[in-house]
Amino acid sequence: MECPACGETSPEGATWCEACGHDLNAEPLPECQACGEREVTDEGYCGICGHKQPEERDHMEFGEDALIAVTNKGKRHRHNEDSVAVGHAFDEAGNVTAAALVVCDGVSSTPGSAEASEAATKAALNVLLSGLSDPVFLANRTNRTQSESGDGSKSDLDVLIESATVAAQNVAAAAPEVESNHPGSSGGPPSSTFVAVVSEPDANGANITVGWLGDSRAYWLGDEALLLTSDHEVEGSLTRWIGADSPNPTPDLASHRFEGLGYLVVCTDGLWRYASAAQELKELVQRLVDQGAAGTTLGSQLIDFANDNGGHDNITAAVWTNHPQPPSVIESRIDLDQHATPEEPTAVGVELAGDDLPEEKSDPE
């Protein structure tokens, strides 16, 4: 066998190169994304051209077909501090009852926010999917039209989103503070925006419930195009967020009934700053769909759109739709459905565990 370091030939089965002492069983170093040399070091830089190798968090895509999520570092920021988690909830028969989407924009001026936002999205999605799949909860939900008649009282779903927010706040507040001498760092504990959305589709449309803190947004883009959230922000500063120094981690809540087909887009300001008005975002999504985008392709094209406009911030979008998916995509969904079981919901980016659901949520009124 040939030594990858010096090229000398050693007997088959040799452990060390006899010429240079290179460990012949050693894993080859990863290939540099910029120059292709296999010299990438533990520090994440190419040992030949010096290029920093992309971090896993720089660009991530989750899900497929009707429920996807994408997140990207953008062009200006050194790290991606956004996080996103999406998943389906199932009833006991294994039918999809709801989709849950959680997006967090970790504040880049407080170091350690990527860890906080990631933990928060996972914790919140965990609470949402466990709650949404709970038989008692599902039984109560069948009577929801009465409980959500607009009398101002909280629905079971409002309470569930609030407890998901509590879970997100708890893990974000526990994220360790990181020291940094970076010029963009203001110091302070890790912090993040938070938006959690549950969509419950039926034959005629969808019921959508949103809870949020900060300036990450949810949009419904159907016959009507509507912004479902209102930013907690004054003169460029967040007024609500999650994290150890949050003055008020109570989410605002909103519920909507939409008839017909549409796209639910949950995103950070890295995307919406370039298409802030709901109608504008709707036209963008429509244009991309008309060009054949679907599933994660739609997601990555939304990222491209933001980067083409400057990529000033981290970019994250979670998309759910009740539009029928193109044939090529439906095929993969059938495949997915065969593998998805009620015990293993299609949650992406999270480890699901039903046993750490907060006590009061498992037995809703």
Binding positions for other proteins, rule: CB under 8 A: 35, 43, 45-52, 75-76, 78, 183-184, 311
Angle at 321 between CA 197 and CA 340, to 5 degrees: 85
Radius of gyration, CA atoms only, the chain? 23
Q: What's the min distance (Å) between Cβ of 26 and other proteins?
A: 18
State how far the alpha carbon of 269 is from the alpha carbons of 213, 234, 276, 283, in Å.
13, 14, 9, 18
Q: Which is nearer to other proteins, 119 or 303 (CB)?
A: 303
Q: What's the min distance (Å) between Cβ of 53 and other proteins?
A: 10
Q: What's the min distance (Å) between Cβ of 48 and other proteins?
A: 5
Tokens 């925006």 correspond to: 193
Nearest of 95, 321, 67 to residue 205 by alpha carbon: 321
State how far the alpha carbon of 79 is from the alpha carbons of 59, 69, 266, in Å.
10, 18, 21
Q: Is 346 exposed, middle or buried (0-12, 13-18, 19+ CB in 10 A)?
A: buried
Q: Is 123 exposed, middle or buried (0-12, 13-18, 19+ CB in 10 A)?
A: buried
Q: What's the min distance (Å) between Cβ of 167 and other proteins?
A: 34
Distance CA 17, CA 22 (A): 5
Helix 113-132, helix 156-174: angle, nearest 10: 150
Secondary structure (DSSP) of 215-264:
S-EEEEESSSEEE-----EETTEESS-EETT-S--PPEEEEEEEES--EE
Q: What's the min distance (Å) between Cβ of 50 and other proteins?
A: 3
Q: What's the min distance (Å) between Cβ of 193 and other proteins?
A: 22
Q: Which is nearer to other proteins, 43 or 179 (CB)?
A: 43
Nearest of 298, 309, 236, 238 to residue 272 by alpha carbon: 309
Q: Which is nearer to other proteins, 117 or 307 (CB)?
A: 307
Q: What's the min distance (Å) between Cβ of 77 and other proteins?
A: 9
Q: Which is nearer to other proteins, 43 or 151 (CB)?
A: 43
Q: Which is nearer to other proteins, 29 or 48 (CB)?
A: 48
Q: Which is nearer to other proteins, 20 or 174 (CB)?
A: 20
Q: What's the min distance (Å) between Cβ of 312 and other proteins?
A: 9
Q: Which is nearer to other proteins, 50 or 292 (CB)?
A: 50
Q: Which is nearer to other proteins, 41 or 143 (CB)?
A: 41
Tokens of 33: 């994304």
